[in-house]
Structure 1
Amino acid sequence: MGTVTVGEVEIAYEVDGPEDGEPMLLLMGLGTQLVAWPAEVVDGLASRGFRVVRVDNRDIGLSSRTSTPAPTRAAVVRALVHRGAARSDYLLADLAADAVAVLDHLGIDRAHVVGVSMGGMIAQQLTIDHPGRVRSLASVMSTTGSRRRGNVSARLLPRMARSLTAPRPTDEEEAVRLGVEGWRVIAGPHFDEDEIEAQVRAAVARSTSPLGAVRQLLAILASPDRTPGLRQVRVPTLVVHGLADPLVAWSGGVATARAVPGSRLLLFPDMGHDLPRPRRGEIVEAIARNAARAAAPTADDDRPRS
């Protein structure tokens, strides 16, 4: 566990697995701390010999907060309705650069990069902007940034807008309750309330950042479409998505797989915007197999898949 300074920003990270293992960088999603990675995923990758590096994206967890004035409610709603109106203090490219700084700090030249949701967007951007630092890419329940793909469900959008602009809870129990309810709305049929409550409690006890999710959302909305850049990606790429995802429609996963040459697409009918326990073993195995493609490429890897 440690921190690295990037300009005026401090990024917190944790490392698991063997010191001499192949590095694997895990990037979490919107408003979510590194403790949200399920133990089965972290331990599963570490047991396969990977040196697993998890980070808190800026404005979340133990990483530093943006000091500029908070976005207004009107600005957030306007950005959700008209993406072109989004204004942010930083972009996904900056979050990708933060992650690269962690690799630099740890003396890691190249890493396998795995991201979920917003973390998948950061992982994509990192691969585009810093191709020499990436051995393989796994983009999970994420999208390309195209306004036509991977959009929030129409039924979920009003609730999302209310949640992001509502007064922040001051009571710890209320914060936990709201956190659990937030996960319940976007999860698939395997939602485990006890597990999620324990995860949310751990996050609340570790750190709270009321504006973190808002600032990160604006960074997503203000960032450009990554599709042209993804077409230039040449590392082994795995795309994982759930067909029951209401937050990032599975069309976003399909668009990602179609954009990256030679990518492999894994869809689960019983997965929402979560990492469901019954599927974690399969997801870990798929990530490990994709990483192995970096060590042993074949002619088959050059054929686009969707």
Structure 2
Amino acid sequence: MPNVTANRIQIEYDTFGDRSSPALLLIAGNGAQLLFWDAEFCELLAKTGLFVIRFDNRDAGLSTKFDETGVPDIMAAIKAAMEGKDVAAAYSLDDMADDCVGLLDALHIEKAHICGASMGGMIAQVVSYRHPQHVLSLISIMSNTGNPHLPQGKPDAIAAVVAPPPTERTAYIEHNINVWRKIWSPGFPFEEKRARTYLEKSYDRSYYPQGMARQNMAILSRGDRTAALSSIKAPTLVIHGSGDPLIPVEAGKDTAHVIPGADLLIIDGMGHDLPTGVWPEIVTAISRHIEQARLRSPQRSNNL
């Protein structure tokens, strides 16, 4: 896969579709590599007439790692955040949003549709209010506004996600199969073969749990983004699962409420994942949203 220097770091990326088509940037969640966005899912999006870009966030996959900053104490940071105290981090969601724009600049793409899932949705939101001139539309999936007063995820799901993973390959994969079971869509069959293949590829490509810890700190340090989100003017689609055990559906409703004019799609039975059973609905929703955004915008070209 290719890589570029952007925002003073190296970013590994991959693309699908025609370079002359409208660009759709996909941003993965906490600790996830670009592999989170299945190639088959990306191909489905590309077939709707999009130039799809997936990439490794900083501290994940094959993009730049921040080893020199050390491994943070996540539990202490969570406690501090709950007490309303400031949380220091090696970098912020703002920095990760700047990475996204840096990647687009390196690819000579002036404007793009910005789509993120979970932490990726948070980053996509930050791109939309921090760099509005680069955003054709926003798609926020299973994410939140950082509002501390919203219902929290189920304790067992949160505990599973924040528990340190084993270092040995087989143990790591089994540990994360259990994590996936905890956050999986209750309305869809658990896809163990697909989950196992994804985890094997991710481990072999780049086993790096300390990056996930630092990304967590970036989330915690940013806090409540509600005020900033209310300034977003880009057409916005919020997608959330009714059965999300990690970031409850109330977070999706709150996101759609805060961003002016946002549309909300609640998918019955979807959890904190993208089971193949929801792909057609999500691809159709994104395609329709992008077409509506195109019709609303006087600018019809996004590539330089």
Could you state the TM-score of these two structures normalised by the residue count of structure 1? 0.91
Contact 1:22 1:111 in 2 (8 A): yes
Is residue 2:36 matched to residue 1:41? Answer: no
Residue of structure 1 in register with 2:158 after alignment: 157
Name structure 1 gaps, 5 residues minimum: 299-306
Q: Which residue of 2 aligns with 1:212?
A: 211
Give SS of 1:84's match: coil
| Structure 1 position 150, deviation (Å) | 5.7
Distance 2:153 2:38 in 1: 24
CA distance in 2, matches of 1:193, 1:54: 23
| Aligned residue in 1 for 2:300 | none
The answer on whether the counterparts of 1:143 and 1:149 sit within 8 Å (CA) in structure 2 is no
- Equivalent residue for 2:301? none
Return the offset for 1:136.
0.7
Q: Secondary structure at the match of 2:167?
A: coil
For the pair 1:287 / 2:286, whether they are aligned, the reply is: yes
Q: Give the Cα separation in 2 of the matches to 1:172 and 1:155.
A: 23
Q: Kindly tell me: are residues 108 and 146 of structure 1, through their superposed partners in 2, closer, same or farther at Cα, counting changes over 3 Å? A: same
Q: How much has 1:10 moved relative to structure 2?
A: 1.7
1:65–1:212 CA contact under 8 A, matched in 2 = yes
**Equivalent residue number for residue 199 of structure 2:** 200
1:32 matched residue in structure 2 = 32
Q: Secondary structure at the match of 1:49?
A: coil
Amino acid at match of 2:114: V
Deviation per residue, 1:184-223 (Å, 9 max, x gap): 1111122211111111111111111120111111110110
State the Cα deviation string for residues 38-61 of structure 1 (Å, max 9, x = none).
234201111111110111111110
**What is the match of residue 114 of structure 1?**
115
Distance 1:148 1:74 in 2: 19
Matches within 5 A, 1:157-176: 157-161=158-162, 163=163, 166=164, 168-176=165-173
**d(CA) in 1 for partners of 2:74 and 2:21?**
45
1:96-139 CA deviation, whole Å, 9 max, x = no partner?
00011000000000000110000000000000000010001100
1:8-44: CA deviation from partner (whole Å, max 9, x where unpaired): 5222111111121111000010110111112342011
Shift of 1:273: 0.2
Counterpart CA distance in 1 for 2:206 and 2:41 is 22
AA at the equivalent of 1:65: K
Q: Any unmatched runs of 5+ in structure 2?
A: 298-304
Instruction: Please identify, of 107-116 and 257-266, the stretch whose mean Cα deviation from structure 2 is larger.
Output: 257-266
Matched with 1:126 is 127
1:224 corresponding residue in structure 2: 223
Contact 1:142–1:248 (Cα < 8 Å) also in 2? yes
Q: Encode CA deviations 1:226-279: one digit per residue, 9 max, x unaligned.
A: 212221211111000011111111111001100111111011121000112111
In 2: Cα distance, 1:73 partner to 1:133 partner: 33
Cα pair distance change 1:282/1:28, threshold 3 Å: same
- What do the CA deviations read for 1:69-102 (whole angstroms, capped 9, x no partner)? 2213653453465463422111111100001100
1:96 and 2:93 equivalent?
Answer: no
Identity among equivalent positions (%) equals: 38
Distance 1:215 1:144 in 2: 19
- 1:179 partner letter: N
Amino acid at match of 1:254: K
Q: 1:38 to 1:52 in 2, by over 3 A?
A: same
User: What whole-Å deviation, never above 9, does each CA across 1:158-184 have from its counterpart, x for those lacking one?
Assistant: 4444x0xx3x52321112112221111
Answering whether residue 81 of structure 2 is matched by residue 84 of structure 1, we say no
Say whether the 8 Å CA contact 2:77–2:220 is kept in structure 1. no
What is the identity, as a one-letter code, of the residue corresponding to 2:241?
A: G
Distance 1:290 1:83, change over 3 A: farther
SS at match of 2:150: coil
Q: 2:185 aligns with which of 174, 185, 188?
A: 188
Tell me the amino acid that sits aligned with residue 202 of structure 1: K
Preserved contact between residue 41 and residue 281 of structure 1 (Cα < 8 Å): no
Match of 1:301 in 2: none
Query: Which 10-residue stretch deviates more, 200-209 or 37-46?
Result: 37-46
TM-score (norm 2): 0.91
Partner of 2:244: 245
- List aligned pairs for 1:7-22, cutoff 5 A: 8-22=8-22
SS of corresponding position for 1:197: helix
Aligned length: 294
Q: Which residue number in structure 1 is paired with residue 302 of structure 2?
A: none
CA contact (8 A) 1:115 1:138 kept: yes
Q: Cα–Cα, structure 1 residues 35 and 240, in superposed 2: closer, same or farther, change >3 Å?
A: same
